[in-house]
Each structure stands twice: as C-alpha cells, then as structure tokens.
Structure 1
Amino acid sequence: MGTWDVGPFDNDTAADWCGDLDEAAADAREGMVRATLIRAADTTEYLDAHVSEEAVAAAALVASQCPGGEPAGPHYGPDEPLPDLTGLRALALQALDRVMAEPSELPELWAESDGGPWQATITRLRTTLAPQVPGEQLRLS
C-alpha cells in the first residue's frame, strides 16, 4: 500500500516500525526510539525515505507525551505502553530538522504530490516538541 495519508504513522514503514516497537521488550522501547532518532539526526549523506519515515514516527511518539501532543496513531501506532520519552524532545527536533534538510528523499517524494498537508504535520510536531519558555502563555485576540 505504501503511503495512505499525511500522518506520522500513515505509511507501511512507520506501521512496521511500530509493530517492531510493540514486539520489543518493555525496557528496550526507549532505546529503540532513541536509536531511530539518532540514525536520522546523524545522517550526513542522502537520507533515505524509510529512515525518515521511522524518525517521523519516533518523533511523533515523543510529541504525543508532551503538553498539547496528539495521541499516537490509533490504528497504526504502537499498541503496547511506552516509557516516558519526553527526555528525547531535543533529539526528536534534530531528527525532524534532518528529515527536512537536503539531501533527504522524503521531502522530495512529498514535493511530487501536494506535500503541503504533510509539511503541516511536521510543523505541528516541531511546535509540540519545541521547549516552552517559562511563563510564556498564548494570547488569544
């Protein structure tokens, strides 16, 4: 099937990765998320789409535990409980930045279609993961 929507878990690679996460021992899940984020963040050469898709899913899991975070994909996200991943916020931001930076295959693939909604998904994740300034409040006008 490949990719069926713009969400972090809406592709075969991310869904398979979440299945592997579910099968991992409970005490290994945080390490698996960390390793996935590091693999993307540390890539200096061309970043393959499958590495990016896994990193976006991992970043979405971190973001899901942050204030304002959206729950992980109910159909294709992990089913098993996850440890506290909020300590990986900075690493998740680095991974997303690398996914969006050249040379990276995933933005190229989304550019071939209407990639605007996908980019909006990445922007929402980045906003959720970004550290809040103490005392900062949103003002509604």
Structure 2
Amino acid sequence: MGTWGTGPFDNDAAADFADALDDAEPEEREALIRGVLTRTVNATGWLIEEQEAVAAAALVAAQCPGGDLVDTADGPEEPMPVFSDDLRELADKALARIMSDETGSASNWVDPEDGKQWQADLNRLRAVLAPPESSIPLFHVEP
C-alpha cells in the first residue's frame, strides 16, 4: 500500500517498525529506536530507513514537553520506556538529515500539499525535540 498519509506512522515501513517495537521486549525498545536514528544520521547516499526514523523521532518527541501523543491505531500499541535524554538530540539530527535529502520523501509526494504538510510535521517535531533554552544565567556581574 505504501504511504496513506503524512503522519509519522502513515506508511508501510513505519507500521512495520511499530510492529517490531511491539514484538520487542520492553528493555529492547529504546535500542531499536536509537539504532534507526543513528543509522539515519550516519547514512551516506540514499536513506534506507527514513520513514522508520521519522516514526522513531515522533515517539521520542511524544515524551518531550509540548510533544503530541502517538496514536496507537497506527503506532505501537505497547508502552514505550522513558527514553534517555540524549535521544532528543539524536532524533533532531535524524530529522535534519531527512529534511536535507533532496531525493527523499520531501520530493516524492504526488500531491504537493501533502509534501508541504509532511515538511510542516517534521518542523513541528524538530521544534519539540530542540533542547530547551537555558534560562539560568551562566554568571552574574555586579554593577
């Protein structure tokens, strides 16, 4: 069937990834997510796991302030563990890599409006994944 929507789990590859997460032991789920994100960041040439990486990033973003819950109708049905903090940056880097790929999904949408929505969705995920700005002053100077 391929792709049926612009959401992070609205395609066959991401749905298969959700099934793999559901089939994995709870303690193995973070490693599966970390693996697909790492391979995407380090990939040269064609991105083989692009859709899985978007899905993984959505799962990480769901645990961040301002993140959207992942719909279990399309995403994993089993609960995810609390992810390590470093996955936020890794997920953001994976999405940046995907968005910079001129021959990837961004250029393959039949309906240009779907392509724009997909780009907007990835930008939203990246905004949630971005590390929070520090509001603590690094030093205080007396006048």
TM-score by length of 2: 0.87
Superposition deviation, residue 73 in structure 1: 2.3
Identity of aligned residues (%): 47
Answer yes or no: is 1:21 the counterpart of 2:21. yes
Answer yes or no: is 1:127 the counterpart of 2:127. yes
Partner of 2:96: 97
Partner of 1:62: 60
How far apart are the structure 1 equivalents of 2:125 and 2:95?
9
In the alignment, structure 2 segments of 5+ residues that lack a partner are 137-143
Which stretch shows the higher mean deviation, 126-135 or 30-39?
A: 126-135
Distance 1:36 1:91, change over 3 A: same
SS of 1:89's partner is: helix
How far apart are the structure 2 equivalents of 1:86 and 1:27?
12
Partner of 1:71: 69
Q: CA RMSD in A?
A: 1.5
Distance 1:60 1:86, change over 3 A: farther
Superposition deviation, residue 86 in structure 1: 4.8
Offset from partner CA, 1:17-66 (integer Å, 9 cap, x none):
10110000111000000001011110021223xx1000000000000000
Superposition deviation, residue 69 in structure 1: 0.3
Offset from partner CA, 1:66-88 (integer Å, 9 cap, x none):
00000012311111111112520
SS of 1:127's partner is: helix
How far apart are the structure 1 equivalents of 2:19 and 2:32?
12
Runs of 4+ in structure 1 over 3 Å off = none
Partner of 1:38: 38
Q: If you compute each CA radius of gyration, which structure gives the higher value, 1 or 2?
A: 2
Amino acid at match of 1:96: L
